[in-house]
Each structure stands twice: as structure tokens, then as C-alpha cells.
Amino acid sequence: MGIPLYGFGALLFVAPALILAVIAQMWVSSAYARGRQAEAKMSGFLAARHILDSAGLRSVEIESIPGQLSDHYDPRAKVLRLSEEVYHGRSLSSVGIAAHEAGHAIQDAVGYLPLAIRNFAVPAASFGSSAGMLLVILGVLLNFKALLLLGIVLFSAVVFFQVVNLPVEFNASRRAKLLLQETGIVGPHEMGPVNNVLNAAALTYVAATLQSVLWLLYYVLRFTSGQRAARY
């Protein structure tokens, strides 16, 4: 008897990651809301600008973009993009998130190896996420093991990206916490809300990685169970 591709059986297999993702998202929302109520000395933009300038990265521009928690650093354009609320907000949540993204810019400037590997893996992960899933489904529906195997290989790029992404995000948060205190933007007694927001965000990356790993394991088990069934 083979393993079902989707349905209750599949969801049950990845349930731990899904539960963790829900917990992480609830923690992020709660931590961000509490941090928004704690006033900071400056806006997210000014905090990021101060951190970047202190690191000698005056050429890195900072832009305001729409959306909530859409903040990111673009290593190709050398631009730090902050959501409007983080860009203009004068809260500990805003400066914490802005400092985290500034940490990515510093990683890029110093040649942080995991970031370079992650950036290299982005195209393969983007392709593997969509194409891999499609080939897995087609491989099962058509009972074509070669397609299923190719889908597993492509989806492996997603798992690789997620695993490499973990140290990148953890390191950026660690840098952010240190830089906020070293530059005097946030005092030691104010770090509670910042730590809460960044730690909650880190858990979302852990949940995403676990989910990808479990899906890959599920596909591999689906493939091997089909191989065993074919022998009998």
C-alpha cells in the first residue's frame, strides 16, 4: 500500500512544522504589536542609516516600500528596503527590524559566506519550489517514477536554500542586537521588545525549514514505497 500524496495523511506527516509555523506567526504578531508600543529614540530609517554609516556603508541606499513586514535587503541593487511602518516608525519594533536588515547589508559587505551561498541558491530554489511540486504531482498521477524522482531532486534545492538561510538570519539578528547597543540606538534596558521581535522572526525561519524538510522526506518515502510495491 503506497503513501497518499495529499490529503489527511500528508498533512499529518508535516503537522509538527505546520503547528510550529502557526505558533511562530502568532508570536511574531504579538511581539511586533507590543514592540510598536515602545517608543525608540529614532525611526527605523534613521536607525538603519546610522548603523550602515557606522559600518562604512554610506553607498547603501534605504527605500520605503508598501506592505507590512515586507522588509528586506537586496544584495544585487545594494539597497535596503523597509516597509512604510518600519521606515517611518519610531518604535523598538521598527528599529529592531531595520537593524536586522542592515545586518544583512553588513554581511554582504564583509563577504559572509552563508549569505553568498544563499544568494547563489535563490534561482534554483525559486525554480525548484514550483517545478519540483508540479513534477512530483505528475509523477504520482501518471505513475512515472522518473518524473517523481526529478521533482524530488528539484525540490531539494528548496530545502538546501532553507537550511542555508537559517545561519544567515540568525547571524543578522545577532548583529542587529549588538549594533543597536554599540551605537546607542537602544539601551540595554530597552532590548526586551527588540529581542522578542527578532527571536519570534527567527522561529518562523525554523518552521519554514522544518516544513520543507518534512515535505522532502514525505516525497522520498512516497517514491521508495512505490519502488517497493513494484517489486512485489
Q: Which residues are catalytic?
A: 101
C-alpha cell at position 130: 514550483
The 10 Å CB-count burial string (b at 16+, else e) for 58-68 is eebebeeeeee
Longest dimension (CA), the chain: 70
Calculate the alpha carbon distances from 210 to 20, 22, 84, 156 in Å. 9, 13, 31, 13
Q: What region does 143 belong to: left with phi over 0, alpha with psi -120 to 50, or beta?
A: left
* Backbone phi and psi for residue 73, each to the nearest 5 degrees, phi listed first: -110, 130
Calculate the alpha carbon distances from 164 to 45, 88, 122, 167 in Å. 28, 31, 11, 6
